[in-house]
Structure formats: structure tokens, C-alpha cells
């Protein structure tokens, strides 16, 4: 027994327009367009579905933000107290610096020989720098020795010694020293 060959019957006549270049282009556009429409619908469905996930994430983030904001707000009074304490500490440092400055002037007057003229005095916390002129090497040596012996100055550094620029005679100098704070023992 022989197998019968399948018979194909096409009752629609072939359109001569489909063999022209424009017809071929339209036929190709329709077949590719179908896939483009399906792909676009797929993208829309995926974006629509992902919106629920993203909305949930946004809700969770907003909730977490609200909780953290509440925690930060609860520390507001503590932060204000810390800032007030920092301001008080800074004010205390400035006052203690001023006390230190007023204590240094009488001591410098005591240790400075008569023929030395101090032209500039700079005070920083725990440090003093002064410049001046001396008529002789001996007076400058006495000043340095007095600073060392006074007990209020440590790490004395002579930064510059040279001829005085403002006068025709004498030596110009610049000295830096650390200042020891004197603790008052008056019972208060």
C-alpha cells in the first residue's frame, strides 16, 4: 500500500500586490509588528506588576524614615544641652585665657631689665611670644636667665637675635616660651 501525498488546496488566489516591493515591505511590517506589539504589552505588564513591589518599598522606606526621624527628634534636647555645655566650656577657656594674660604682665615686668623695650606681645593658650630691643648683650642674657629662673616659663626659645631695625644701636630679639598656669591657693 502506498502512502498518499498530502494535498494542499489554496482557494485564495495569490495577490499580485504582495509580490511588489511595497507589498513585501507591508507584509514584513505586519509580521514584525505583531512581535513588537506582543513585546510592548509584555513590558507594560512587567512594569505594572513591578509597580506593586516598588510601592511596597516606598511605603517601607517612608515608615523607616518616620521612625528614624522620631529617634532623631528625641535626641533634640540632648543635643541642645551638649551645645550649651560646649559654649560654656569655650567661654571658660576664654576667661581662663584672660586670667592668664593678666597674670603674665606683672611677671614680665619683674623679669625684664630696665634697658630692654618690649615692642610686641602675643598670647596664646599656654604660650607667650614677645619681641623687643636690648641695648646690650648682657641685658638680653639677664632677661633670658630671669625667664628661666622665674618658674612661670618653660621651653624658652630665642627665635631671632639681630641688629635692631628701628634703632641705630642695640639688638632686636624674638622669644617664645610656654607659660605655667598658677593655681591659686586662697581657699576658694
Q: Give yes or no for a contact between 179 and 124, defined as CB atoms under 8 angstroms apart.
A: no
Angle, nearest 10°, between helix axes 21-74 and 76-111?
Answer: 60
As given in the structure block, the three cell numbers for residue 95 are 576667661
Q: How many helices (H) and strands (E) does the chain have?
A: 3, 4
Query: What are the domain boundaries of the chain?
Result: 101-179
Per-residue pLDDT of the chain (188 residues; tens, 9 = 90+): 678 888 888 777 778 888 889 988 988 888 888 899 999 999 999 999 899 889 999 999 999 999 999 988 888 888 899 999 999 998 887 766 655 566 777 888 888 888 888 888 888 777 888 888 888 888 889 988 988 888 888 888 888 888 877 666 788 889 998 887 665 555 44
Q: For 101-179, which CATH superfamily applies?
A: General secretion pathway protein M, EpsM (3.30.1360.100)
Contacts of 149-152 spanning 24+ positions with Cβ under 8 A:
150/107, 150/110, 150/111, 151/180, 152/104, 152/107, 152/179, 152/180, 152/182
The whole-angstrom separation of Cα 159 and Cα 169 is: 20
**pTM for this prediction:** 0.45
Dist CA 133 CA 115 (whole Å) = 9
Amino acid at each position: 500500500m502506498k502512502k498518499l501525498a498530502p494535498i494542499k488546496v489554496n482557494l485564495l488566489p495569490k495577490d499580485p500586490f504582495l509580490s511588489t516591493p511595497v507589498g513585501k515591505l507591508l507584509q514584513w511590517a505586519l509580521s514584525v509588528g505583531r512581535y513588537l506589539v506582543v513585546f510592548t504589552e509584555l513590558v507594560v505588564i512587567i512594569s505594572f506588576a513591578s509597580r506593586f513591589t516598588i510601592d511596597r518599598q516606598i511605603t517601607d522606606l517612608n515608615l523607616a524614615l518616620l521612625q528614624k526621624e522620631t529617634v532623631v527628634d528625641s535626641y533634640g534636647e540632648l543635643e541642645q544641652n551638649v551645645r550649651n555645655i560646649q559654649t560654656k566650656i569655650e567661654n571658660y577657656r576664654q576667661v581662663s585665657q584672660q586670667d592668664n594674660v593678666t597674670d603674665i604682665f606683672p611677671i614680665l615686668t619683674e623679669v625684664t631689665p630696665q634697658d630692654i623695650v618690649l615692642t610686641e606681645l602675643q598670647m596664646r593658650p599656654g604660650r607667650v611670644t614677645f619681641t623687643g630691643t636690648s641695648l646690650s648683650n648682657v641685658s638680653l642674657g639677664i632677661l633670658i636667665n630671669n625667664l628661666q629662673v622665674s618658674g612661670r616659663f618653660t621651653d624658652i626659645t630665642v627665635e631671632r637675635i639681630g641688629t635692631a631695625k628701628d634703632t641705630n644701636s642695640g639688638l632686636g630679639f624674638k622669644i617664645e616660651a610656654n607659660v605655667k598656669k598658677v593655681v591659686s591657693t586662697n581657699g576658694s
